[in-house]
Structure 1
Amino acid sequence: MPEWQDLTQPITERVTTHPPGWPYPEFEAYKSHESDGVNATRVRIVTHCGTHMDAPSHFFSADDHGTIEDVTPDEMVTEGVVLDLTDVDRGAAITPADLDAATEGNPIEDGDFVVLDTGMDPTETDEETYLREYAYPGVAAAEYLVDAGAAVVATDALGVDEPGASIADHEVHRALLPAGVRIVEGVANLGDVAYARHEFVCTPLPYVGRDGSQVRLLARELESVEREREESEKR
């Protein structure tokens, strides 16, 4: 079978957090094999670092909007497209015209998991550049994605809003989340991923009443899966 590709950042004590100044993850050896006969670790982590998903309650009241445990199994195992936005200048807004070009021959279908490859690999980019110089969907592009039927908008940047935007100016979050579009940020390892349709597995942890979670994000090119299935049926 075609191999799954792991698009998840490793979680370390220095995984980039956003915005700058948010705490890094902390790992404490709660039990050790040497002392207790078993290893167990206590973790302290912000829900919005590494490869993670935003729930609507990230920017809206948890009393009135969905929280991360509302993500269903059907949403976690789905299909969608990876789009080439690497020609968009760093720090610039992605436009509807950019999305038109990226979806030519690789269209967005209703309910798709849409990955925006801006060329910002979190595992290969220094932290300052990663936080300050990424391309991002402008509000018009966010509305384009909503109208196209995207169920998830994922990006290799650590944010979908303009670098350095204040909380009040996070207009893209406020365009996507109320429309029922989930946001995944910090996607990694897109360098070898085809701009095509894929199967995706994206699994947040069901933190009850919370605003987000790290995810394990996997992708497998759908054409390769279908081609191998057809070849198997011919045997």
Structure 2
Amino acid sequence: MSEWIDLTQTLAEDSPTLPPLHPKPEFEAYATLDEDDYNSTLLHLETHCGTHMDAPTHFLSKDEHRTIDEITVDEMVTEGVICDFSHKDPGSGVSREELADQAERYDLSAGDYLIFDCGMAPADTDHYLRNFVYPEAEAAEYMVEQDIACFAIDALSADRPGAELAEHHVHYTLLPEDILIIEGVANLQAVSPGRYDVIATPIPYENRDGSQIRLLVRPQG
């Protein structure tokens, strides 16, 4: 049986976060082995840092759309396709045609996770923070037409770098259709394009907009 591959960032106080407003994680010792005979840590952690999942309520009303604790087990243990866009120039968009070419090659199907490999590795660099590859609006519309369950990307945002909130076309196209979004995927250099078994496990924060996840994939066949 093939081994599972972990596509999750390790979170630390220096983990990169989307500029300019998103805070860094903070870890504070609540108890220590030396003083209390056990270790315990307090976290100050935005739901949208590291490898994380956006619930529809990240951009939409909780009265009408799902929160992160409503994601089902069937959505966490599933299948998907990894597409390779690591050859794209930094800051450029993936077109509908470019996406369709790979999606059809790897038999992207309804209910799949779609994972973009844009050649990104988590780092405090201009390339990672402000110059990443992203899907164009028409590519997001194609995802809706294909009825995918989740779109994942190794950039810190699914939308164009520096986009104003009103210009977050990918979020505003996918989330109203109950298509989940995962950002901050890591370790994609360890995989090749193709079909995979997928495990993605968000933390069920009650009535919240997202959470960190553990993202694992395993090649099929």
Q: TM-score range by the shorter chain?
A: over 0.9
- Which of 211, 215, 218 in structure 1 is aligned with 2:216? 218
SS of aligned partner of 1:38: coil
Aligned position for 2:140: 142
Aligned partner of 2:119: which letter?
G
Q: In structure 1, how many angstroms separate the alpha carbons of the residues matched to 2:9 and 2:192?
A: 19
- Deviation at 1:49? 0.6
SS of aligned partner of 2:105: coil
- Deviation at 1:50? 0.5
Equivalent residues, number: 221
Q: In structure 2, how many angstroms separate the alpha carbons of the residues matched to 1:22 and 1:80?
A: 29
Aligned partner of 1:127: which letter?
T
Q: Does 1:20 align with 2:20?
A: yes
- Deviation at 1:171? 1.5
SS of aligned partner of 2:43: strand
- Deviation at 1:62? 1.7
Q: For the Cα contact (< 8 Å) 2:90–2:127, is it kept in 1? A: no
Q: In structure 1, how many angstroms separate the alpha carbons of the residues matched to 2:89 and 2:41?
A: 41
- Deviation at 1:29? 0.5
Aligned partner of 1:154: which letter?
A
Aligned partner of 1:169: which letter?
E
Judge which range, 156-165 or 11-20, deviates more: 11-20
Q: For the Cα contact (< 8 Å) 1:160–1:173, is it kept in 2? A: yes
Aligned partner of 2:95: which letter?
T
RMSD: 1.1
SS of aligned partner of 1:191: helix
Aligned position for 1:84: 84
Aligned partner of 1:76: which letter?
M
- Deviation at 1:104? 4.3
Q: Does 1:57 align with 2:57?
A: yes
Q: For the Cα contact (< 8 Å) 1:108–1:149, is it kept in 2? A: no
Aligned partner of 1:48: which letter?
H
Q: For the Cα contact (< 8 Å) 2:57–2:66, is it kept in 1? A: yes
If you compute each CA radius of gyration, which structure gives the higher value, 1 or 2? 1
Identity, % of aligned positions = 48
Matches within 5 A, 1:25-44: 25-44=25-44
CA offsets, 1:159-184, max 9 Å, x none? Answer: 11110011121111000001111000
Aligned partner of 2:212: which letter?
Q
Judge which range, 51-60 or 98-107, deviates more: 98-107
Aligned partner of 1:166: which letter?
E
- Structure 1: 4+ residue segments shifted above 4 A: none
Q: For the Cα contact (< 8 Å) 2:50–2:184, is it kept in 1? A: yes
SS of aligned partner of 1:154: strand
Aligned position for 1:67: 67
- Deviation at 1:61? 1.6
Q: For the Cα contact (< 8 Å) 2:79–2:198, is it kept in 1? A: yes
Q: Which sections of structure 2, spanning at least 5 residues, go unmatched? A: none
CA offsets, 1:75-103, max 9 Å, x none? Answer: 00000110111222211111011112322
Q: Does 1:112 align with 2:112?
A: yes
Q: In structure 2, how many angstroms separate the alpha carbons of the residues matched to 1:62 and 1:23?
A: 23
Q: TM-score scaled to structure 2, two decimals? A: 0.96
Q: Which sections of structure 1, spanning at least 5 residues, go unmatched? A: 224-235
Q: In structure 1, how many angstroms separate the alpha carbons of the residues matched to 2:95 and 2:74?
A: 30
Q: TM-score scaled to structure 1, two decimals? A: 0.91
Q: For the Cα contact (< 8 Å) 1:82–1:114, is it kept in 2? A: yes
